[in-house]
């Protein structure tokens, strides 16, 4: 195999240097990932991978990359898929002490936006391939790079709908401190808007105060919160029930004016076995008494498309193989990943270098101690599922 790759540090730095921020609300902060996709495509092509780049529908010039290597004409069945997302969250400029778009080595850590979450995973993959003779592989090896994981999961959704391959195992390299993750909760974010009737505060009966109506809404939500806690349990999770958080509320503009509009943004973290879309109906049913009292004044909608929960069953052979390789039992987490979508294609495990505690944080970093064990882990996975 002809090795034309740059050094690990150069690869890592080039990935971090390219801004790939995703944002729903601010188009100026929503960067295309095309430059990063092209760079990855060139590196994997140099190693002999076949390359497919697909535009992702419903995005602002975003793309998925699938790089595949197979020594067999049956290049879609079996083998291993290593997956990661190419985008990052925005950064708080005043809180970073390092350049977010430069890989900085300091205190035995690599700093930069996306080092842990999770552009750096591709650098670890490429480093791991240096010592593997791809011509010896008996089953396909696929590398997937997706778009918009941080906001809509559009890249993973698109891939799950269009993919023809069926690997034996998929690994998503989110920062799990190299602990295999087999399940996580779903995420539903709803916006509840109350439209009142404004007027002068000296005569409240001539208006409808949206804040007061929202107070009734919140009473119903807190009842639903307790109901979900009482009726649904999964002891695999540290928090073994669905949670609800009232995250943002705002309304009104002056003390002497009846509030004409009040808006609440909330989320529910659903257990994997729960139907993520039925929660919308459950929410609306819970609010029905207030909606009936104030017809056409309460609106409920999704803030973003809901993300289902995910679970790879404990008796799944691929999961058992990964646990055996790592000599470590799989765990569960509360945050969300692309696993619900890729799990539709093949058994999916979340496993990667770095700590989730660094994700979305100023001065994001990966500890340099992860280099050797991550390289060894990826090589073990390739040898197990592709040889």
Question: What span, in angstroms and rounded, lies between the C-alpha atoms of 250 and 219?
Answer: 17
Question: What span, in angstroms and rounded, lies between the C-alpha atoms of 5 and 129?
Answer: 10
Question: What span, in angstroms and rounded, lies between the C-alpha atoms of 169 and 322?
Answer: 9
What H or E segment, with its residue span, contains residue 367?
A: strand 365-367
Annotated catalytic residue: which of 30, 117, 148, 149? 149
Count the Cβ atoms, other than its own, within 10 Å of residue 373: 13
Residues counted in the chain: 387
Q: Which residues contact 86 (CB under 8 A, 6 or more apart)?
A: 20, 33, 36, 37, 40, 65, 119, 145, 146, 147, 155
Per DSSP, helices labelled H in 167-209 are none
CA–CA distances in Å: residue 103 to residues 98, 99, 364: 9, 8, 10
Q: Do the Cβ atoms of 376 and 178 come closer than 8 Å?
A: no
CA–CA distances in Å: residue 382 to residues 14, 133, 143, 172, 185: 25, 11, 11, 14, 28
Helices 8-17 and 34-46 meet at what angle, rounded to 10?
A: 160
Q: What is the DSSP letter of 97?
A: S
Is residue 38 annotated as part of the catalytic site, yes or no? no
Angle (nearest 5°) at CA 132 between 130 and 134: 110
Q: Residue with structure tokens 């190693």? A: 47
Annotated catalytic residue: which of 14, 30, 87, 174? 87
- Classified as helix, coil or strand, 169 is strand
- Structure token digits, residue 251: 């309304």
Question: What span, in angstroms and rounded, lies between the C-alpha atoms of 18 and 120?
Answer: 12
Phi, psi of 81 (to 5 degrees): -115, 120
Q: Do the Cβ atoms of 114 and 15 come closer than 8 Å?
A: yes
End-to-end CA distance of the chain: 17
CA–CA distances in Å: residue 125 to residues 352, 380, 385: 10, 12, 15
Is residue 105 annotated as part of the catalytic site, yes or no? no
Q: What is the DSSP letter of 58?
A: T
Instruction: Point out the residues that are catalytic.
Output: 87, 149
């Amino acid at each position: 195999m002809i090795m034309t790759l740059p050094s690990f540090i150069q690869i890592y730095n080039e990935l971090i240097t390219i801004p790939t921020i995703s944002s729903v609300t601010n188009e100026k902060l929503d960067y295309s990932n095309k430059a990063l996709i092209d760079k990855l495509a060139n590196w994997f092509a140099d190693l002999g991978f076949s390359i497919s780049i697909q535009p992702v529908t419903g995005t602002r010039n975003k793309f998925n990359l699938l790089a595949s290597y197979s020594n067999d004409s049956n290049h879609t069945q079996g083998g291993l898929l290593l997956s990661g997302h190419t985008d990052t969250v925005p950064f708080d400029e005043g809180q970073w002490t390092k350049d977010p778009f430069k890989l900085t080595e300091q205190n035995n850590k690599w700093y930069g936006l996306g080092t842990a979450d999770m552009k750096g995973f591709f650098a670890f993959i490429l480093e791991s391939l240096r010592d593997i003779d791809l011509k010896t592989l008996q089953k396909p090896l696929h590398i997937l790079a997706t778009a918009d994981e941080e906001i809509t999961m559009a890249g993973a959704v698109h891939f799950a709908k269009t993919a023809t391959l069926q690997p034996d195992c998929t690994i998503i390299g989110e920062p799990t401190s190299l602990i295999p993750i087999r399940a996580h909760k779903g995420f539903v974010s709803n916006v509840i808007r109350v439209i009142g009737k404004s007027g002068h505060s000296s005569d409240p009966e001539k208006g409808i105060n949206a804040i007061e109506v929202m107070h009734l809404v919140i009473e119903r939500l807190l009842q639903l919160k307790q109901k979900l806690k009482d009726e649904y349990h999964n002891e695999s999770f540290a928090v073994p029930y669905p949670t609800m958080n009232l995250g943002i509320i705002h309304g009104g503009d002056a003390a002497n004016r009846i509030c004409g509009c009040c808006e609440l943004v909330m989320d529910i973290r659903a257990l994997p076995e729960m139907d993520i879309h039925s929660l919308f109906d459950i929410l609306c049913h819970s609010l029905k008494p207030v909606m009936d009292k104030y017809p056409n004044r309460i609106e409920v909608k999704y803030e973003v498309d809901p993300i289902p929960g995910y679970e790879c069953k404990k008796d799944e052979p691929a999961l058992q193989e990964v646990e055996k390789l790592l000599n470590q039992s799989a765990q569960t987490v509360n945050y969300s990943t692309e696993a619900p979508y890729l799990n539709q294609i093949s058994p999916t495990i979340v496993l990667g270098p770095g700590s989730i505690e660094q994700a979305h944080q100023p001065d994001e970093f990966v500890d340099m101690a992860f280099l050797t064990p991550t390289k060894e882990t990826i090589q073990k996975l390739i040898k197990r599922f592709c040889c």
